[in-house]
Structure 1
Amino acid sequence: MISVQPIGDRGLYEVRVSGVVTDIDYEQMLMPALDQAIEDHDRIRVLVIFDADFEDFTLGAMLDDARMGLRHWRGFDRLAIVSQRPWIRRAASGLGVMLPCPVRVFPLEETDDARRWLTESLGAIHQTDLGDGVLHLQLRGQLDSSIYAEETEDLNAFIRANDRFRLLIDARDFDGWQGMAALFEHLKVVREHYRLIDRAAIVGNSGWQRLGEKVLGRLSGAKTRFFKADAIEQAKDWIKS
């Protein structure tokens, strides 16, 4: 049996799975509910709870599960899976590698933690106009695709006011992307604006961030430099010079 309930009105949904799940449960309950949810919200966050009395999937349900994953590939923003069954937790962890959204697996006693994880902010982007066409971009924590959606309009407004600009990327507290969808959104933003950059500085701690500076320089043709984390003030002086 499968039941689907919205949690508030922010695109959060709770799916409870119990007993034996058949293809009828997928076709008559889960798929229509998710179709409607994604139509209403574009991207959704889903909590899937396998109750203690869950027994198994039928073969038809497993095939429907695979079809559903392909059908809603880009519709999930975040997915939390709660179960005590080791095989479900292993399968869910493997699913997280393939899906473009963040996926976390929780034991049944941590259901409340799973709910909190779905709603909490995992990362942030802070934009500061330093004047004279210089944008200070601070990346913090682990970014998901919704963060980019929230910040795009501010970035576009800055670019409309500056035909060309200089970019200071502060990645000292940046821990990467939550899922492939967030990485794709990042690459989309870079692709749309990199030709407008005259100069760029990246401040960070990691070798891959240093590599990012070189890639950005090659893509944009702009003058770029990498600064270590303790050299943020030197980076600001250089980007303004």
Structure 2
Amino acid sequence: MLNVQLDEDQGIAILEPDGELSKEDFETASRLIDPYIEEHDALNGIMIHVRTFPGWDSFSSLVAHLKFVKEHHQKVARIAFATDSPIGGIAAKIAPHFVNAEIKRFAFDEFEAARTWIVGGT
């Protein structure tokens, strides 16, 4: 399951996986995020906040994840990985090859620092 919170005041989508990710999780995230992007033309950022990455429940879930990234990466200024999972570091190094957003990794407990960075802080 993917919990999605949209902070409309700050223009931040917070994604918090809780168990393996499904195709429906990414469809739900799109339904919540897309109207904001249509109205404001972009998001300041997306924060992925998870202690350890749970993986996907199927190959179609992975494909849905990649489709989500493809459809949204040009409309997101910054992506913060707030995680203690080793995959966060890997993703932060690989993702710049596929997305336009600026990317930074934070520890799981650095939620507020990640939020501040997304909205233009240091």
Which category of TM-score, normalised to the shorter sequence, fits these structures? 0.7 to 0.9
Tell me which residue corresponds to 1:142.
20
Tell me which residue corresponds to 2:37.
159
Quick one: which amino acid aligns to residue 68 of structure 2?
A: V
Is the 1:197–1:220 contact (alpha carbons within 8 Å) kept by the matching residues of 2? no
Q: Distance in 2 between matches of 1:151 and 1:221?
A: 19
Deviation at 1:130, TM superposition (A): 4.7
Match of 2:66 among 173, 181, 187: 187
Query: Aligned with 1:128: secondary structure?
Result: strand
Quick one: which amino acid aligns to residue 148 of structure 1?
A: F
Is the 1:140–1:173 contact (alpha carbons within 8 Å) kept by the matching residues of 2? no
Deviation string, structure 1 residues 61-114 (Cα, Å, up to 9, x no partner)? xxxxxxxxxxxxxxxxxxxxxxxxxxxxxxxxxxxxxxxxxxxxxxxxxxxxxx
Deviation at 1:173, TM superposition (A): 5.4
Runs of 5+ unmatched residues, structure 1? 1-122
1:240 aligns with 2:96: no
- For normalisation by structure 1, the TM-score amounts to 0.45
1:204 aligns with 2:83: yes
Q: Distance in 1 between matches of 2:30 and 2:67?
A: 11
Deviation at 1:222, TM superposition (A): 2.3
Superposition RMSD in Å: 1.8
Query: Aligned with 1:151: secondary structure?
Result: helix
- Structure label with greater radius of gyration: 1
Tell me which residue corresponds to 1:223.
102
Tell me which residue corresponds to 1:120.
none
Q: Distance in 1 between matches of 2:78 and 2:117?
A: 9
